[in-house]
Amino acid sequence: MLVYLNGRVLPRREALIDCFDRGFILGDGVYEGLRAIPADDSGRARARIVGLKRHVRRMQLGLDATKIDVDARVFEGATDELLSASGLTDAFVYWHVTGGVPGEHDPVRSRVPGKGVTPTVFAYAEPRPGMETIVEPPAKKVITCRDVRWELGWLKSISLMGNVWAAKLAAEHGADEAILIRHADGGGAGDAMHGGVVSEGLATNVVLALPKGDGGTEVVTPSLESAPMLAGVTRDLVVSWAPEIVQRRVLAEELELASEIMLLGTTTYVSSVVAMNGRMVGDGQPGPVARRLLRVLKEGIAAGRDIEA
């Protein structure tokens, strides 16, 4: 495997990071996960990143918020170089920037970085099946749990202990994912399903299909203002291309009323929750809303509509 590290593409085993790097010592950094696809239908041309400008904007927002002095646009050329050297077109691409390595006369574990600190800029890519292989929304089992993470949920921080904790809890219950419920008290013990609002999945945004009294269906996703959550790029694309999706505060209790629950993410696009907390959702199969949103997303990407700013 080849990786990109501080301006160079080199073999993984040669990529060395200082033990006092602020990412390792303090979790001081931000990241992005992206999807590369062939730039044309032949699969032989150079790759392109789905929603590239959106990812760059979000990465820059995180860098600015954490006061790490790096221009996120450096990853545009770095990604092309890495994918080309690796011979990849269909791939998952990961960008990672930390507060970096203290200078020679800087304290090695100061909360505030010293004047001589140099940020660490890292990326890797690994092959993934082509978009054409996803013909049905992948089926997932989930649990719900209280969102005990910090209030900067919009920041794609590399400090993922809250997500790791929830992922381990899901695995203990035989589930693939967790849907996080934010409570007014910020977390703690108690029933996750009552008195809270839906935020997001472990690395996904949530969409619900809710039956209406007139026999129709309301498709909703938690608004970004309703709880601390990530402004997902896949979410942004789907909401832009499927204007019937309503962005609003979604109560935890509404999960139990949903005929479909969907998770939007970079690597699985649109997946269907077929079981939640050990109970079947809908008929236990990907439903019509999930199929439609997957089709809308794939068609939009294939047409290059994600390329615009």
> pLDDT digits over 177-220, tens only?
999 999 876 544 445 667 899 999 999 999 999 999 888 999 99
| Same-domain status, 278 and 165 | yes
Q: Which CATH number does the domain housing residue 268 bear?
A: 3.20.10.10
**Total structural domains in the chain?**
2
Q: Global pTM?
A: 0.87
Please report which confidence band the pLDDT of residue 15 belongs to, taking 50, 70 and 90 as the band edges. Answer: very high
Write out pLDDT tens, residues 24-39: 999 999 999 999 999 9
| Same-domain status, 144 and 289 | yes
| Same-domain status, 178 and 84 | no
| Same-domain status, 74 and 97 | yes
Q: Which CATH number does the domain housing residue 64 bear?
A: 3.30.470.10
pLDDT of 150 reads 84
| Same-domain status, 40 and 153 | no
Q: β-strand 29-38 against 269-276: which pairing, if any?
A: unpaired
Q: Is the residue at 308 inside a domain?
A: no
Q: Is the residue at 213 inside a domain?
A: yes
| Same-domain status, 286 and 164 | yes
User: Which residue range is the domain that position 25 belongs to?
Assistant: 2-132
Write out pLDDT tens, residues 70-108: 999 999 999 999 999 999 999 999 999 999 999 988 888
Lowest pLDDT segment from 54-68, 103-117, 125-139, 244-258: 103-117
| Same-domain status, 20 and 104 | yes
Residues 6+ apart with CB under 8 A from 297: 234, 237, 238, 241, 269, 270
pLDDT of 195 reads 80
- The set of long-range contacts for 211-214, using a CB threshold of 8 Å and a minimum separation of 24, is 211/257, 211/259
